[in-house]
Chains A and B, each alone.
Chain A
């Protein structure tokens, strides 16, 4: 019995060594920290590898965690690129002085609203905040016009939000920039008093809408399409608030080049690829996001970019790096 075990154990130990060797002898190429989910971006990365022959090693994790990781690693980070889910995280990393300035040829491809003022990062796609609702329980003409209407008594206990989610926090940061600290705080307090139900992420909001737990929700725009893809009768719809309402924020996913990385030329190729028509078309058709460059065939489910730009709240995306202030506010209101 005992002898058998020791044989088994030694086999397994050999197994371990082999795997450890495999793990350490991967060829060094381009290392990407992706705060964007693998399911969303893997196809386009594979396409890039196929076309250029450059191997991309991707570390997938939560955007904020990766930003923290970059901060911890500092100059020694193995990453060449940081592809983030929201402008706030990009802002935080650029504030730490870890990004290199991107060349004009790359920056000029996107409108000014979609890039860092000093050219430290550039957006790769747009993501809108929307009002989702249950068409079974709420008729379209009774939907609230503004995010400030959600505090009315008739929506008491019927609105779902995700205050712990980075997208929501980015929205609060934008709201502070647009309507000021006081109004934002009042809105948060009123929402809380009105019994808004807190979900951990965007998808549970949409599930809860379908399950009948809530009638209205505040998620990002693209999740619903994935539910509808699997089930076209999925009982949730979404819409925007009136023009210039803070609730219509368009946040970005963006990418930055790390200053101390080795193969910056190769890394730039990757950024350029993401801004190419092919990649942009992929984001629009497959991920259901908004493009940041021109010449892309619009997705029928999405508002065309020029119409979207008419209803989004006006403020500077670069002001969105004050996540700390937002967290302070959310803690003060006792939401997180």
Chain B
């Protein structure tokens, strides 16, 4: 990227926050162009003039709220805050009562209210207030201009502005050199994982081409393959659409509305993660029919779900938390100032949602959509129970029944190319997204939106969602236990639980840690190789777990240990861990790290001290995702666990396939319980 592009990008970021700048800000931008980007003043002026930024009047926030600087200068902080709040409240109410008339200066009341909010936020924050006073008194925007940088410089009062300038100019020399070192600390892990991911890929290709031509033509080029392709696409699309329709309102309600118990509802919406997909499918199947639970409870039988609709509903319920959690994280990370600006520019609620919120949710939709697609495309349990034929179901059948895997490998390769296409399109879509805050200050905590008369509808919606996604499977599991409780099954439970945790915990932690370099590389560096590297977790994720497991057996030959199982699980689930971390990085500005570096941190220090703390929320969600997924994981566990090693999920699989539902239910119940505790713990960690 040329310097010019760099600077223009900076200005356009700036523009998204405030299309109007003051004369002082214009000077600041010019100074930045000269000092940091090395333009001549004329060039910089020309760029600025063509940028579309409008130079407006200087805003005195003290004046806006009816104060002067002296009024507030010598007050105690508490006193000041209450005065500011009072003034803001009074003026805000006046403005609300004023209706739709135009103010003397030509602005609307709504714009005025936006300005009031800004004034309140700036004046209540001592650092921002000082910066504002500085600006008013000196007519100079402090250097450097972005407030994220500014905060660091003003918080460290002993560092004079000149010193920062010197540090910055030294930094320019250092930067190019140390960037290489920094690159490698992030690239090395990604490259290593990439190499591990290549092995199963090579295995698939070798297996696929180890076949005679006529056999291949006979097996592959038949109507069935086309049908499988059609079915898989139809199902994936359906699940995506249904999930977006179901979970967008749920995520919004649990993050932005004023409903009570948002935290509990968040946990409940995340709970389906704790339920294995085949248990959801079994429960939905057990609901209908003459002998179904519905018939037993209400004396009337309803038709059994099966085929496309059965698979669609079961998979949507099962994958819904992926979208919910991603969306919710993104919604919580949204900067409320943006919405307020949009409102002050005259957009109504829907307009704000459509123009401001929705575009910012794109990375969350892409990341979750990707995960959901991969889940649906790779799912075997649900589709086979629902009797809907897809690629992976055919693949699983091949693996289960055939001794040579040529045809299976071909199906695997087709699956891979399908997921490869999805990855490609996701990359194309994502590359156009820049979402971090370019403007001033840290984002303010938001106030909840009152639903008023709609709140009961909100409760009803979340309640119904809960009954459908969690209530039905849980009830079924409990009924199974109830119908045939067997004390002898309790004995194995503890051993299996320890077995499950022994795989799930290390996998979850390591995946979350490994996800950071991947996410970092994918967001901060551009280029063909990096974008391929950043996508390796998804490519590995797209390899059918059975192929992954078998290829590992081929590679290491003899007996497997838990370590091998954990490594395989990490490889497989890394993609699930990358999404949330990546969303978090998207919402942080690269300028924070730059600022830290300019204050003398090494690259690694800068990363650890500025970015890493901001990623902890994303990393926690990654850990939860992978933990819950590993608790349910089947094919890899079945293939790679050492002899005698037991897990809960393996027991559920075993018992259900032998029609011993009571024993299966006990194991499923423990999975559910433990995962639920984990989900609860996770949501509590966050501020709702």
Contacts and interface: CB of A to CB of B under 8 A. Distances in A.
Contacts of A71: 403
23 contacts: A1-B613, A1-B616, A2-B608, A16-B566, A19-B506, A20-B506, A26-B642, A26-B644, A39-B663, A59-B642, A61-B638, A62-B400, A76-B558, A166-B400, A200-B387, A203-B656, A207-B285, A211-B301, A212-B289, A212-B301, A230-B483, A231-B483, A324-B403
A230 B654 contact: no
A71 B563 CA distance: 23
Contacts of B661: 230
A307 interface: no
A112 B644 CA distance: 33
Interface string B384-401: 110100000010010111
Given A211-B288, A230-B662, A16 B645 contact: no
A198 interface: yes
Sorted nearest first, the 3 A-B pairs with minimum C-beta distance are A211-B289, A23-B562, A57-B644
The majority secondary structure among interface residues of chain A is helix
B650 interface: yes
A13 to B, nearest CB: 7
B199 interface: no
Given A20-B562, A73-B557, A73-B558, A9 B400 contact: no
Contact of A23 (B218, B484, B502): B502
Contact of A39 (B290, B619, B655): B655
Interface of B: 218-219, 222-224, 285-286, 288-292, 301, 304, 306, 384-385, 387, 394, 397, 399-405, 483-484, 492, 498, 502, 505-506, 509-510, 513, 546, 550, 553-554, 557-559, 561-563, 566, 608, 612-613, 616, 619, 638-639, 641-646, 650-651, 654-663
Contact of A68 (B394, B550, B643): B550
Interface residues of A, number: 74
B646 to A, nearest CB: 8
B505 A16 contact: yes
Contact of A164 (B289, B401, B608): B401
Contacts of B492: 42
Interface string A208-246: 101111000000000100110111001100000000000
B223 A334 contact: yes
Interface string A152-169: 000000000000101001
A331 B394 CA distance: 11
Given A68-B550, A230-B662, A62 B402 contact: no
Nearest to B562: A23
Interface string A1-32: 11001000100110110011011101000011
Given A19-B506, A64-B402, A213-B304, 10 more contacts: A13-B506, A19-B498, A23-B562, A60-B654, A64-B401, A68-B399, A69-B553, A164-B384, A200-B387, A336-B397
B263 to A, nearest CB: 19
Nearest to B656: A203
Interface of A: 1-2, 5, 9, 12-13, 15-16, 19-20, 22-24, 26, 31-33, 37-40, 42, 57-62, 64-65, 67-69, 71-73, 76-79, 92, 136, 164, 166, 169, 197-201, 203-204, 206-208, 210-213, 223, 226-227, 229-231, 234-235, 323-324, 327, 331-332, 334, 336
A223 B661 CA distance: 12
A166 B291 contact: no
B658 A72 contact: no
A92 B387 CA distance: 29
Contacts of A208: 289, 304
Contacts of A78: 558-559, 643
A164 B654 contact: no
B627 to A, nearest CB: 11
Contacts of A334: 222-224
The majority secondary structure among interface residues of chain B is helix
Contacts of A206: 659
A19 B646 CA distance: 13
Contact of B650 (A2, A60, A197, A331): A60
Contacts of A69: 550, 553, 639
B563 A323 contact: no
Contact of B638 (A58, A62, A327): A62
A9 to B, nearest CB: 6
A31 B643 contact: yes
A23 B483 contact: no
A20 B646 CA distance: 14
A211 B651 contact: no
B639 to A, nearest CB: 7
Given A68-B405, A164-B397, A211-B288, A59 B509 contact: no
A216 B646 CA distance: 36
A140 to B, nearest CB: 19
A20 B384 CA distance: 34
Given A12-B505, A73-B553, A73-B557, A211 B642 contact: no
A39 B653 CA distance: 10
A32 to B, nearest CB: 7
Given A12-B505, A23-B502, A73-B553, A39 B289 contact: no
A199 B288 CA distance: 17
Most buried by A among B510, B546, B608, B639: B639
A193 B483 CA distance: 39
B638 A65 contact: yes
B561 A23 contact: yes
A213 B509 contact: no
Contacts of A38: 646, 651, 654-655
B387 to A, nearest CB: 6
Contacts of B399: 64-65, 68
A57 B643 contact: yes
A100 B655 CA distance: 32
Contacts of A234: 291
Contacts of A226: 658-660
A19 B502 contact: yes
A38 B652 CA distance: 11
Contacts of B502: 19, 22-23
A39 B554 contact: no
Contact of B401 (A1, A19, A211, A336): A336
A22 B553 CA distance: 21
Contacts of A2: 608, 612-613, 616
A12 B558 CA distance: 29
Contact of B290 (A198, A212, A327): A212
A206 B645 CA distance: 31
A76 B288 contact: no
Most buried by A among B285, B404, B553, B659: B659
Contacts of B646: 38
A9 B405 contact: no
Contacts of B643: 31-33, 57-59, 78-79
Contacts of A1: 613, 616
A199 B651 contact: no
Nearest to A4: B616
Contacts of B224: 334
A336 B394 contact: yes
A233 B131 CA distance: 80
Contacts of B660: 39, 226
Contact of A64 (B290, B400, B638): B400
Nearest to A134: B290
B291 A211 contact: yes
A138 to B, nearest CB: 14
B304 A211 contact: yes
A79 B560 CA distance: 12
A310 B553 CA distance: 45
Most buried by B among A65, A169, A227: A65
B562 A24 contact: yes
Contacts of B559: 78
A5 B616 contact: yes
A169 to B, nearest CB: 6
